[in-house]
Structure 1
Amino acid sequence: MTDRSIQRPARSGAVLRTSVLLAVLIAVGSSGCARFGKMFKDEDADEGQPVEAIYEKASRSMKNGNWSGAEQSFKRLVAQYPYGPYTEQALIETAYAQYKAGKHEEAISSIDRFIRTYPTHRNIAYLYYLRGLVNSTRDAVFLQKVWSLDASRRDLATPMQAYNDFTIVTERYPNSRYAADARERMAKLRNMFARHELETALYYLRRDAYVAAAERARYLLDTYPQSEHQADAVATLAAAYTGLGNEALATSARNQLQQLAPNHPYLAGDWPDYPSNLRKLNPFAGEKSALDND
């Protein structure tokens, strides 16, 4: 009798704990099913909707900066209505949404597919312009933004492609609304390319590779005339020719620099100002070149 009176509460407690556990599992399962159901419902929300309604929904997402939502809605529009003016515009907007979301590879793929499919589309100039924008920022990574790393020191393959894209806009579609901005962006890219050549020339100059430094400076002047680094290139020539002991060419370069930029620090003996070795050993100092003025 005593044994049974002791054992019953134990069995009753176990049953109670089991019941509570089952209730919790059922509640969690129901909640999970509800969430999954809502997710599937959201995915199918555009199913069977008129093309105008889907397009309007996607456009609202774009206005609100919901690039991922806009991309998904535009893709569903294209899947349900593969032909027509809404579809063509949705393909364009998809590429733009991908660009704004930082999905550069996907944006380039969408743009190239559109250009192949609609090579004579009325908005084709915009597609080349957009491809230029994507390629301009394609290699921009988090550390570049945080540490302000110099883009001219990075691989220039995609900026070169961006330059080619903007060139297409300015040469094939000179009267388009995107041509003027494309020209401005081309000028900025040329300055980047010129700085890349100048940085290389200064690298050679610091290591007493005077012939290589002079060749790079001359290439800059010939390839990117009127760039913002023209005076620095002439100063590099003067320094390289001085290092080579060719006083005639050095004097000619100095005279040219005097006419081009009479206040250039090279003429006062204060250029190039290379970063110290101590600074280069500091991983938190950020990048600095002889072209930077602190």
Structure 2
Amino acid sequence: MKVNFLVIFLLAMTLTACAGKPKDDPNAIQTAQTMYQQAKEVLDNGLYNRAIDLLTTVESRYPFGPLARQVQLDLIYAHYKVGNTPKALAGIDRFIRLNPNHPELDYVYYMRGLSNLQADENALHNIVGIDRADRDLASTRQAFDDFKTMLTSFPQSKYAPEAKKRMLSIKDTLARHELIIADYYMRRGAYLAAANRGKYIVEFYRDSPMVEQALEIMVESYDKLGLAKLKDDTYQVLKLNFPRNSKF
């Protein structure tokens, strides 16, 4: 009787253990899908703050479910749309770190570029359209690198054409920024610093429309510094590339 009792006891414990093993609950999966669909409809309708609330709820309740990655992608987009670039970038960096082989990684890098661009655009709102030579463009430079990474790693991506356009626009922005600084130095008599800024534009942004003005600043700076040879050489480059220039 003791042996039979022991066998029954062990069998009961085994069945209890099996029953306690985690299983995918069909009802839970269905609930997650329903919640996600509601959040997606809100997102598609442009109600981004409400979508963030709903998506965050789905993510917190089902962090390892089949929809987890898509929820994270949607949260990145929603945070970007409401202008919360710190949260968008945090979500992007986390996604890249945890999903280095995800099939939509090109989109994530593209969104990283857009978010970094947005970071500097948000800063411009406080300037009310006034150019400031001392304004940092670190996020814009990072955006350029993000788009470059995307194009290098995913040259066939559907986001590639737009990324290329963004990179050209960023180059013009950065060249203009350097020109503002060069002009700032000129007005304060820091002619060598102004010439160096102009030279930087010519070397690194040679296809920018700012090159002509950069050369003008270089010619004027070298003249103020009494560097006749550099002035003449730069003037020749200016006239060769911009024969209609009438400043000098």
- For the criterion TM > 0.5, the same-fold answer is yes
Partner of 1:154: 135
The Cα of 1:135 is off from its aligned counterpart by: 0.7
**How many angstroms apart in 2 are the aligned matches of 1:153 and 1:204?**
11
1:234 equivalent in alignment to 2:215: yes
The question of whether the paired residues in 2 share the 8 Å contact of 1:152 and 1:195 is answered with no
Which residue identity lines up with residue 147 of structure 2 in the other structure?
Answer: F
Which residue identity lines up with residue 130 of structure 1 in the other structure?
Answer: M
1:247 equivalent in alignment to 2:221: no
60-69 or 71-80, larger mean C-alpha shift: 71-80
Partner of 1:82: 63
Partner of 2:195: 214
1:127 equivalent in alignment to 2:84: no
Larger Rg: 1
Q: Deviations over 1:144-170 (max 9, x none)?
A: 278223377521111122112111111
Q: TM-score, normalised by structure 2?
A: 0.81
The question of whether the paired residues in 2 share the 8 Å contact of 1:152 and 1:193 is answered with no
Q: What percent of counterpart residues are identical?
A: 34
Distance 1:152 1:52, change over 3 A: farther
Partner of 1:165: 146
1:197 equivalent in alignment to 2:175: no
The Cα of 1:176 is off from its aligned counterpart by: 0.8
Contiguous gaps of at least 5 residues in structure 1: 1-46, 268-294
The question of whether the paired residues in 2 share the 8 Å contact of 1:234 and 1:257 is answered with yes
The question of whether the paired residues in 1 share the 8 Å contact of 2:89 and 2:112 is answered with yes
Q: TM-score, normalised by structure 1?
A: 0.69
Please, what is the CA RMSD of the aligned residues? 2.2
Aligned length: 221
Distance 1:151 1:203, change over 3 A: closer
The Cα of 1:53 is off from its aligned counterpart by: 1.5
Contiguous gaps of at least 5 residues in structure 2: 1-27
The Cα of 1:177 is off from its aligned counterpart by: 1.1
Partner of 2:98: 117
What SS does structure 2 have at the residue aligned with 1:240? helix
Partner of 1:53: 34
Partner of 1:66: 47
What SS does structure 2 have at the residue aligned with 1:138? helix
Which residue identity lines up with residue 75 of structure 1 in the other structure?
Answer: T
Q: Deviations over 1:35-66 (max 9, x none)?
A: xxxxxxxxxxxx99622221211111112111
**How many angstroms apart in 2 are the aligned matches of 1:265 and 1:204?**
23
Partner of 2:72: 91
What SS does structure 2 have at the residue aligned with 1:228? coil
**How many angstroms apart in 2 are the aligned matches of 1:164 and 1:91?**
23
The Cα of 1:240 is off from its aligned counterpart by: 1.1
Q: How does 1:35-46 map to 2 (within 5 A)?
A: none
Distance 1:145 1:177, change over 3 A: farther
Distance 1:184 1:71, change over 3 A: same
The question of whether the paired residues in 2 share the 8 Å contact of 1:151 and 1:192 is answered with no
**How many angstroms apart in 2 are the aligned matches of 1:125 and 1:151?**
33
The Cα of 1:80 is off from its aligned counterpart by: 2.7
Partner of 1:262: 243
